[in-house]
Structure 1
Amino acid sequence: MSQILDVSGLTFRHSGKKHWLKKPEIFALGPIDMQVMKGETIAIIGQNRSGKSLLAKMLAGAVEPDAGTIRLLERKYWSVKHRNARKKADITGIRMIFQHSSESMNPGISVGQILDEPLRLNSSLSESQRKDLIADTLVKVGLLREHFYFYRHMLSDGQQQRVSLARAILPDPKVLIADEPFAALDPTIRSQTVNLILRLQKEMGLAFVFISHNLGIVRHIADRVIVMDNGQIIESGKTETIFRWPQHEMTKKLVLSYQSLVPQQTLR
């Protein structure tokens, strides 16, 4: 597999609001170094406030780091020095899937209008070409072409999540970033969504980086696992290696917590 994403020295430092009785809280993340290969699935795990969600947002461009470099296909996607120099084609290279899909959908416009926006802003396709591509993408994520005319209130939770996925893959990205993309779904819909993402990943050659507290899903779909604590990567490796032979105490705690919830015969 060829390298598709290279992160070097990514750093973020945030000071909380001052209070007259105590010092302001300071949260520092990084420096983070990581690489993602084409078609690879990487899970980032850790306890609350470990920095994993913040890292996902920085990778997706939703939060600006204080230092570091992100390279996409060996081209500089982001750096402090070139923070205003990203091209439209680069911006669409990394896309994000939202956890609560309903909150990311404007209830006042149709699915077609929601999906048309990223294409209208980041492509030179004509209106008819965009409409055809949107209809084809709806089918690709398991919806109907007719869903182009639906509104949010007309869709189930699972269908809303598929619209969110369609919006993410429309600009033909190279990397998908997702923060707890399955947490808000019931078990049946969750299983369908996982399988759909795996199929799309294989068809499109996508790299998938996701945050999850569900270590069952992590073990099922991730090629590699990154463990974070207090803004640092404390351990990383192949999924089965992390689950069978965790080294760091925090990793052991997370794995033991998972093992206590599943039948022991499934761990052999």
Structure 2
Amino acid sequence: MKELMQVKGLLFRHSDTKRWLKKPEVFALGPIDLTVNRGETIAIIGENRAGKSLLAKMLVGAVAADEGEIYLSNVSYNAAKRKSTKSYNSSNDIRMIFQHSSEAMNPGITVGMILDEPLRLNTRLSEKERRSRIEETLRKVGLLRDHVYFYRHMLSDGQQQRVALARALVLQPKILVADEPFAALDPSIRSQTVNQLLTLQKELGLSFIFISHNLGIVRHIADKVIVMENGQIVESGKTETIFRWPQHAMTKKLIMAYQSLVPQQKLN
């Protein structure tokens, strides 16, 4: 596989000193090292406050690291400054899909306007070219061309999630970071969305960094699994290896909780 992203020594420290007469709370994440290959899905799992979402935001540049380097498409970025060492726009190669798609959609503008904004800000495409790209992207995520005229309240939960996916795809990135993208969907829509992502991955050669508490979906779609606890990667490996032969106590705890919900499945 072709390597798309390499993360080296990513480190974040946060100290909460605002609590009166209490010791400051310090949360440290890292150092994190990981590699993402073309067409690969990496799942990040762990309990709440393990640092999963924070790591995702650091990878896309939404939160600055204190130390570390990110190499994306062979270009090096100082993760602490979120600034490339070359003249290059990293945000076009890696995009994020958030958990609550409705909260990320402005109710006062149409789907077409939502998708047009990143194209206007990040490309030199003409209005006609942007419209063509938008319509093509809507089709790829299973929506209609006429959905460009729709507002948020006119869309179902599943359609809103597809719009969120379209917004992430419209700049034709190489890596998508998805933070619990299925949590708010009912099971039938969730299944459709998962299958849609797998189809897009096959067609476009996309890589996914996927954060989820749903280990059933993780086992279904992930090539590799990273287990986090208290801001640290405590175990990582191929998906089936992690599920069949977990080594770390946290990994065993997560797998046992998952297995208790699906007792008909055997790990060995």
Please give the range of the TM-score, normalised by the shorter of the 2 chains: over 0.9
Aligned to 1:185: 185
CA distance in structure 2 between the aligned counterparts of 1:129 and 1:59, rounded to whole angstroms: 29
CA distance in structure 1 between the aligned counterparts of 2:149 and 2:102, rounded to whole angstroms: 16
Q: What does the per-residue CA deviation read over 1:75-103, in whole Å, with 9 as the maximum and x for residues that have no partner?
A: 11443367376756322111001111110
Residue 24 to residue 82, structure 1, CA distance change in 2 (3 Å): closer
Aligned to 1:217: 217
CA distance in structure 1 between the aligned counterparts of 2:117 and 2:54, rounded to whole angstroms: 26
Aligned to 2:83: 83
Q: Does 1:127 align with 2:127?
A: yes
Please state whether the residue corresponding to 1:103 is helix, strand or coil: coil
CA distance in structure 2 between the aligned counterparts of 1:81 and 1:120, rounded to whole angstroms: 25
Tell me which amino acid in the other structure corresponds to 2:36.
Answer: V
Please state whether the residue corresponding to 2:185 is helix, strand or coil: coil
Please state whether the residue corresponding to 2:210 is helix, strand or coil: strand
Residue 22 to residue 267, structure 1, CA distance change in 2 (3 Å): same
The gaps in structure 2 that reach 5 residues or longer are: none
Normalised by the length of structure 2, the TM-score is 0.96
CA distance in structure 1 between the aligned counterparts of 2:256 and 2:182, rounded to whole angstroms: 22
C-alpha contact (below 8 Å) 1:93/1:172 kept by paired residues? yes
Residue 77 to residue 200, structure 1, CA distance change in 2 (3 Å): farther
CA distance in structure 1 between the aligned counterparts of 2:265 and 2:93, rounded to whole angstroms: 41
Once superposed, which parts of structure 1, at least 4 consecutive aligned residues long, lie more than 6 Å away? none
C-alpha contact (below 8 Å) 2:61/2:79 kept by paired residues? no
Aligned to 2:70: 70
Q: What does the per-residue CA deviation read over 1:71-129, in whole Å, with 9 as the maximum and x for residues that have no partner?
A: 11221144336737675632211100111111011000000000000000011100011
Q: Does 1:117 align with 2:114?
A: no
CA distance in structure 1 between the aligned counterparts of 2:106 and 2:75, rounded to whole angstroms: 33
Aligned to 2:165: 165
Deviation at 1:266, TM superposition (A): 5.3
C-alpha contact (below 8 Å) 1:43/1:222 kept by paired residues? yes
Residue 158 to residue 266, structure 1, CA distance change in 2 (3 Å): farther
CA distance in structure 2 between the aligned counterparts of 1:68 and 1:267, rounded to whole angstroms: 37
Aligned to 2:46: 46
CA distance in structure 1 between the aligned counterparts of 2:157 and 2:41, rounded to whole angstroms: 24
C-alpha contact (below 8 Å) 1:36/1:207 kept by paired residues? yes
Tell me which amino acid in the other structure corresponds to 2:176.
Answer: L
C-alpha contact (below 8 Å) 2:64/2:81 kept by paired residues? no
Tell me which amino acid in the other structure corresponds to 2:165.
Answer: L
Please state whether the residue corresponding to 1:117 is helix, strand or coil: helix
Aligned to 1:204: 204
Normalised by the length of structure 1, the TM-score is 0.96
CA distance in structure 2 between the aligned counterparts of 1:181 and 1:19, rounded to whole angstroms: 33
Matches within 5 A, 1:6-25: 6-25=6-25
Residue 199 to residue 82, structure 1, CA distance change in 2 (3 Å): closer
C-alpha contact (below 8 Å) 1:54/1:63 kept by paired residues? yes
The gaps in structure 1 that reach 5 residues or longer are: none
Aligned to 2:238: 238
Aligned to 1:156: 156
Q: Which moved more, 1:112-121 or 1:73-82?
A: 73-82
